């Protein structure tokens, strides 16, 4: 990133002038607006390729339940690096060595999973329909709570030890940098660690994981077209000037419909599913609404971070989309949300 970009203040940047991604080192004055049609075509092509890669990982995971760990590892490492590069724009003393362990927080729940290998069969009801004992709900609560507790304790201990070690070496002035490192690390690491919990602690975890991954993209599509055709009133000019009220409502409606269809078609049956079509339809609509709302919160949160750091994208790995953080910002919010909804569905 050029020195000129780092020294720009909020008052010097026109809201209508797109700021660069953290990986784009050309000065602002040398950039020219891309052709909109070419950019949209590039975005669509990249979206299909990326969706295909996710499908290639998720479909075989019906039978190979640990396969999603490859996706969690990729997202954690790449997104963690993107956030590290962005955070250094305002916290230049950020240390790579102390930031790196946050990217492997998704491995922590595996210590619980290895202690209860029999629950790995829960991941896919299709591949193992007779995997549930009468006490499955008690085990689900126990395993989920134990995993979340271990994740939070590990994160807290590492934050305290690394911060003290850093202050001993560099002085107390590095405390803001340590807080920034922990915040960016948890932003990616905690959702990915929660994703790991679906692989062994949540009955029918495959479907719930798919729900958490797919709902943000369906919400995004519905919000885009609703905003494109009906968007008039802009509601978040300070965060993202393209967000409209029609887009928000369209995204919520799309989430309600997608959630209702998902639960009605895929979650009907004997425990841990529910046999009633009406119950699943209502649960799906409510869960779709909540997940869609959280997906949009995740998008707004990431946009707010970008505005604060004065960048356009987190990276350029995905042409037309930006970086991995730009693509998974909503998923970082829907994974924890879906875990709560799954437990409510299974236990209430």
Does the pLDDT value for residue 32 go beyond 60?
no
**What local confidence, expressed as pLDDT, does residue 307 receive?**
92
pLDDT band at 21 (very low <50, low <70, confident <90, very high): low
Read off the pLDDT of residues 137-174 as tens digits, 9 standing for 90 and up: 888 889 999 999 999 999 999 999 989 988 998 888 88
What is the pTM assigned to this prediction? 0.86
* pLDDT (average), residues 37-53: 76
Lowest-pLDDT range of 54-68, 72-86, 294-308: 54-68
Work out the pLDDT band at 29, boundaries 50, 70, 90: very low
For the chain, report the end-to-end CA distance as a whole number of angstroms.
51
Q: Is pLDDT above 60 for 134?
A: yes
1 CB burial (10 A radius; 0-12, 13-18, 19+): middle
Predicted confidence (pLDDT) at residue 75 exceeds the cutoff of 50? yes
- Does 7 have pLDDT greater than 50? no
pLDDT at 127 > cutoff 60: no
Two tokens at 93? 């003393």
54 or 198: which leads in pLDDT: 198
Phi, psi at 100, each rounded to 5°: -60, -45
What is the per-residue pLDDT for 6? 40
Q: Is 273 left (phi over 0), alpha (psi -120 to 50) or beta?
A: beta
Partners of 244 in the beta sheet? Answer: 234
196, burial (CB in 10 Å: exposed 0-12, middle 13-18, buried 19+): buried
What is the structure's pLDDT at 14? 42
Residue 332: domain span: 3-347
> What proportion of the chain, given as a percentage, has pLDDT over 90?
49
> Could you give the number of structural domains in the chain?
1
Residue indicated by tokens 């989430």: 255
Alpha helices in 231-276 (DSSP H): 245-266
User: Please, how many CA atoms are within 13 Å of residue 23, restricted to the half-sphere of its CB?
Assistant: 17
Instruction: Using alpha carbons only, give the angle 335, 108, 80 rounded to the nearest 5 degrees.
Output: 60
- Give me the phi and psi of 274, to 5 degrees please: -125, 135
Q: What is the pLDDT of the chain when averaged over all its residues? A: 84
Note the pLDDT of residue 25: 42
- Please enumerate, as own/partner, the contacts of 241-244 that have beta carbons within 8 Å and a separation of 24 or more: 241/15, 241/16, 243/300
Nearest to 213 by CA among 304, 318, 291, 310: 291
Residue 40 pLDDT > 70: no
How far apart are alpha carbons 167 and 179 in whole angstroms? 12
Task: Decide: residue 16, CB within 10 A, 0-12 exposed, 13-18 middle, 19+ buried.
Answer: exposed
pLDDT value for 4: 39
Mean pLDDT, rounded, for 53-58: 87
Q: Prior bond to 188 cis, omega within 30? A: no
Answer whether residue 13 shows pLDDT above 70.
no
Please determine, for residue 2, whether its predicted confidence score (pLDDT) is greater than 60.
no
Structure tokens at 285: 């609509």
pLDDT of residue 321: 80
């Amino acid at each position: 990133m050029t020195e000129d970009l780092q020294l720009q203040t909020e008052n010097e940047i026109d809201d209508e002038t797109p700021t660069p991604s953290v990986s784009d080192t050309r000065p602002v004055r040398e950039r020219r607006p891309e052709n909109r049609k070419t950019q949209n075509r590039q975005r669509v092509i990249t979206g299909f390729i990326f969706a295909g890669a996710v499908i290639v990982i998720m479909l075989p995971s019906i039978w190979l339940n640990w396969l999603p760990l490859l996706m969690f590892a990729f997202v954690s490492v790449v997104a963690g690096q993107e956030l590290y590069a962005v955070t250094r724009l305002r916290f230049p003393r950020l240390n790579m060595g102390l930031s790196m362990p946050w990217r492997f927080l998704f491995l922590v729940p595996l210590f619980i999973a290895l202690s209860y290998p029999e629950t790995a069969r829960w991941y896919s009801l299709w591949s193992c329909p007779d995997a549930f004992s009468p006490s499955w709900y008690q085990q689900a609560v126990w395993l989920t709570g134990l995993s979340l507790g271990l994740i939070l304790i590990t994160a807290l201990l590492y934050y305290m030890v690394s911060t003290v070690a850093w202050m001993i070496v560099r002085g107390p002035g590095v405390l803001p940098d340590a807080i920034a490192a922990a915040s960016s690390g948890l932003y990616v690491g905690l959702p990915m660690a929660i994703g790991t919990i679906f692989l062994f602690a949540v009955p029918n975890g495959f479907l719930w994981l798919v729900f958490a991954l797919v709902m943000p993209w369906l919400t995004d599509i519905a919000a885009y077209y609703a905003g494109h055709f009906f968007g008039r009133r802009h509601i978040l000019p300070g965060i993202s000037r393209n967000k409209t009220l029609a887009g928000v409502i369209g995204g919520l409606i799309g989430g309600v419909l997608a959630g209702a269809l998902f639960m009605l078609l895929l979650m009907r049956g004997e425990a841990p599913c529910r046999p009633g079509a009406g119950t699943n339809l209502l649960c799906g609509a409510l869960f779709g609404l909540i997940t869609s709302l959280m997906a949009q919160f995740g998008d707004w949160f990431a946009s707010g971070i970008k505005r604060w750091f004065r960048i356009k994208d987190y990276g350029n790995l995905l042409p037309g989309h930006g970086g991995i953080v730009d693509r998974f910002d909503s998923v970082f919010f829907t994974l924890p949300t879906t875990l709560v909804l799954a437990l409510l569905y299974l236990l209430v």
